[in-house]
Amino acid sequence: MSDQDYMQRCLDLAVLGAGTTSPNPMVGAVIVFQDQIIGEGFTSPYGGAHAEVNAVNQAIERYGETQAKAMFSEATIYVSLEPCAHFGKTPPCADLLVNMGFRKAVIACLDPFAKVNGAGLKKLQDAGMETEVGLLGKQAKWINRRFFTKLEKSRPYIILKWAQTADGYFAPLEDAQKWISNIASKQLVHKWRAEEDAILVGKNTAILDNPSLTVRDWKGTNPKRILIDKNLAVPQDFAILNDQAETIVFNAVKTEWQGHLKFVELENFDLYLPQQILYQLYLMDVQSIIIEGGKKTLDMFIDAGLWDEARIFRSAETWSAGIPAPHVEGEEWNLVKVGSDSLQTLIHS
């Protein structure tokens, strides 16, 4: 296997932490001794061990501490993100690698977090460890695009999501719920919910569709539910306000905490609403959010240029009339079939 193969293994491991590591990044680590992988790991759920710790511990469990340390002195550790250099929920990983005496570290990309950002790399180099940075760096940054966006833009990573008919309609003209995408697409959406920190809808969607916005068709943690409801018109017994997930209601009436419900009053509610919401979520350490609708809500974020990724389901069904789907322009990243539906993913360029 080549250096690139080992780093690709790190990336493959990293994504196994999707939906569990936030606000930490997803990281994978692989330890190679004499062309053999002797330990590997990925970041544990938030508050737990980082990828490097899990990889080192696996090697020690396999070979015993004495033999493992002897192997580390001739081994290379591949890591998809710069090892941390500060004390947080866990001790610095850079210190661990130095103490374990690794011969070399290959790092995909540096960590932009202010307390790391080159400091982890410097610790390794000051200890005399051979280092290499940049292997599959672009791919590593893509995996952690949520983490990078939050640090570099001071807002969550924004995913727009909707379904439309083959002839471009988003919803029926009458106030009624009408399903567009198929069952497989619905399950995929629930998987996405488990991977992101939050999901947002407007008042009209909450009243018309009465969605729960939870992970029911997939195994995972329910995201935070975000509701835009200026005058608190959504009835208290509606699904979006139940106790199945933390729910944040942005409104113009009150700020109040009620267990899992957090009402956040925004001054000048109609002025720069998307920006206000995203800044508040950033302060709450929300790293990513899915904007599910309705059309007015989606258009509000599109018109403000506040989106990073759009995931658009197109069914084979035609309606001939209805509310036109949102329009967004971006670079096509992917186009796949999901049963009878097609799924197009656009990246904001």
Cα separation, 55 vs 57, in Å, equals 5
Give yes or no: 52 in active site. Answer: yes
From 52, 82, 195, 317, active-site residue: 52
Q: How far is CA 36 from CA 33, 76, 103, in A?
A: 5, 10, 15
Cα separation, 343 vs 182, in Å, equals 11
Tokens at 32, concatenated: 């190679």
Ramachandran angles phi, psi of 260, nearest 5°: -80, -10
Beta carbons within 8 Å of 173's beta carbon, 6+ residues apart: 321, 322, 323
Q: Tell me if residue 144 falls in helix, strand or coil.
A: coil
241: DSSP letter = G
Where does the chain show beta strands of DSSP type E? 28-33, 36-42, 76-79, 104-107, 130-133, 157-164, 169-171, 198-202, 224-228, 247-251, 256-258, 261-265, 288-293, 309-314, 323-324, 331-338, 341-347
Tokens at 65, concatenated: 């501490």
- Catalytic residue IDs: 52
